A and B are shown apart, each in its own frame.
Chain A
Amino acid sequence: NAGVIQTPRHKVTGKGQEATLWCEPISGHSAVFWYRQTIVQGLEFLTYFRNQAPIDDSGMPKERFSAQMPNQSHSTLKIQSTQPQDSAVYLCASSFGQNTEVFFGKGTRLTVV
């Protein structure tokens, strides 16, 4: 079990460019989460899928951010027209089901210059 796999581990983009972050959840896990981590805000919930369906995207900024889960083996978080304030570590996590342990990946550190 390789755990939750996130690629790339580090990404540098220029202001205004698009960034796509990838996540492969643990096989058999039905829930997938995205979080953003910064020094100031800590761990902020972004969005959540269950069985590939979007369940709760209440933490997603309304513009420029989108997430998809086209199949059970991967999810993507896309940020259009990146801004310096988008710089953060983006964490993906998965769990087997409701109220079961949530496993996190190592994160993707996004730097917008």
Chain B
Amino acid sequence: GDSVIQMQGQVTLSENDFLFINCTYSTTGYPTLFWYVQYSGEGPQLLLQVTTANNKGSSRGFEATYDKGTTSFHLQKTSVQEIDSAVYYCAMNGSSGNKLIFGIGTLLSVKP
């Protein structure tokens, strides 16, 4: 079945550090890949959608790339800020259509 594996469970950085989060996926379909961010007390909200292999999406200083050859997708930001502290989820809608399948989430803590 469809699955998404998110490697980093928790990441602690200092302001202006580089952020990189990696996910891999497995599906028999043609996936659309997403990054969601969840701030404390809120529901997840869409950060980026990546639909074309080897293309980048970008939003709020974050960039997402997708490598179809390695079935992986990445989220990165050159210089994180304290306000970026949140949980970041990779997600996919694969062969099963509209429902999203999420990775386990990465808790990002950015220290001032």
Contacts and interface: CB of A to CB of B under 8 A. Distances in A.
Contacts, number: 48
Interface in B62-96: 89, 93, 96
B112 to A, nearest CB: 26
B52 to A, nearest CB: 14
Interface stretch (B11-19, B20-28, B41-49): B41-49
Contact of A4 (B32, B43, B99): B43
Contact of A99 (B32, B44, B45, B104): B32
Contact of B44 (A45, A91, A98): A91
Nearest to A101: B46
Q: How large is the interface on A (under 10, 10 to 19, 20 to 34, 35 or more residues)?
A: 20 to 34
A113 interface: no
A43 B43 contact: no
Given A105-B43, A106-B42, A106-B43, A45 B93 contact: no
B104 A48 contact: no
A45 B98 contact: no
A25 interface: no
The B interface is mostly helix, strand or loop, or mixed, namely loop
B102 A91 contact: no
B102 A43 contact: yes
A22 interface: no
A5 to B, nearest CB: 11
A43 B105 contact: yes
B32 A45 contact: no
B110 interface: no
Given A102-B46, A104-B44, A106-B41, A42 B97 contact: no
Given A42-B104, A43-B89, A48 B42 contact: no
Contacts of B97: 56, 98
A93 interface: yes
Given A43-B89, A104-B43, A56 B99 contact: yes
Interface of B: 32, 41-46, 49, 89, 93, 96-105
Interface of A: 4, 31, 33, 42-43, 45, 48, 50, 55-56, 58, 91, 93, 95, 98-99, 101-107
